[in-house]
Amino acid sequence: MQYSKLGKTGITVSRICLGCMSYGDKKWRDWVLTMDEARDHFAAAVESGINFYDTANVYSVGASEEVTGRWLGEMAKRDEIVVATKVHGPMASGLNRAGLSRKNILEACDASLRRLKMDFIDLYQIHRWDYTTPIEETLEALDSLVRAGKVRYLGASSMAAWQFAKALAIQKENGWHRFISMQNHYNLVYREEEREMNPLCIDNGVGLIPWSPLARGFLAGNRDKGGTGPTARAKTDDFAKNMYFREYDFEVLSVVEQIAKERSVTPSQIACAWILQAPGVSAPIIGATKLAHLKEAIAAVDVKLTADEVAALEKPYRPHPILGHEQPRPSRMVSSRAT
């Protein structure tokens, strides 16, 4: 395993982060691996040197955190691993059981700690932007968690670049602990983040830890144009079907498969190698429901692409609409005509 700093901090993380959405309760998604089924994945990750693990309270409505905490508690040394989780999504019915209010953040953090069976969270992330809560309230609450010793670092996930810039500015203005990572939607068939968010993060020393670096399995090369594939997740993943599977996405995939064949590696490893060399990326978040796929991702760390291969992989890309997070809608349109 190889390692890097997480943004402009002193914390060291493995170049692969194990995404733990795949582990939890089949009542949430039928492709999720249960507690016992997930054991071998965590054993392989720890043995390989992965020290970075990402989950969220909303994954399997808390069960993912329980699985993550159980196996890391048994297999890893707490002071050698970096555990990340997230807050925002609804955990139960009720007016205050979701979002980024101070009330929900403080209560959700305590609940995550109980499920993880840990004394602190290394990286606590806001899962999405909350349009119903003042951002100042959210940022002050997050800062208080760091000062209370319950959280070590703060991170954010998909949002508009202007929103993230605003949040960073407010944190600096108030002397609050700042976001040190951005978990954004970024892969070979969705590169819109290169326009604004990635340059913003690089300029501010914020580490990129992209989600869906393999486009929810699309870049594995085993999906047909109808969106189905060989795994249980591929057969039922409507989210992926709505995100990818455009004609020009398959043009990118064709180059991935060609280079993979020339290198005698898998398409997934080429896609992973590409994002590992992308500027600003500390560690892509890799999720897997099959142990072999996890081992492929671990081996991809050693695949180094040439400049010509990178250029060939990037050439077919075409612009996409914003995918992966809600876009703000202005309350009124401002006329461009002078009055």
Which residues are the active-site residues?
Answer: 59
CA distance 310 to 201: 22
DSSP category for residue 57: T
CA distance 4 to 273: 15
Q: Name the one residue in this structure whose structure tokens are 């050439």.
A: 315
CA distance 271 to 274: 5
CA distance 107 to 48: 34
| Sequential DSSP letters for 76-100 | S-GGG-EEEEEE-S--SSSTTSSSS
CA distances from 261 to 252, 254, 276, 307 (A): 15, 11, 19, 18
Write b or e for each residue in 29-48: b if 16 or more Cβ atoms lie within 10 A of its Cβ, otherwise e: beebbeeeebbebbebbbeb
Could you tell me which residues are beta bridge partners of residue 54?
19, 84
Token pair for 81: 């691993």
Contact residues for 299 (Cβ-Cβ < 8 A; gap 6+) = 265, 269
* Most distant CA atoms of the chain, gap in Å: 68
> Pairing state of beta strands 17-19 and 285-286?
parallel
CA distance 9 to 137: 25
Rg over CA atoms, the chain: 20
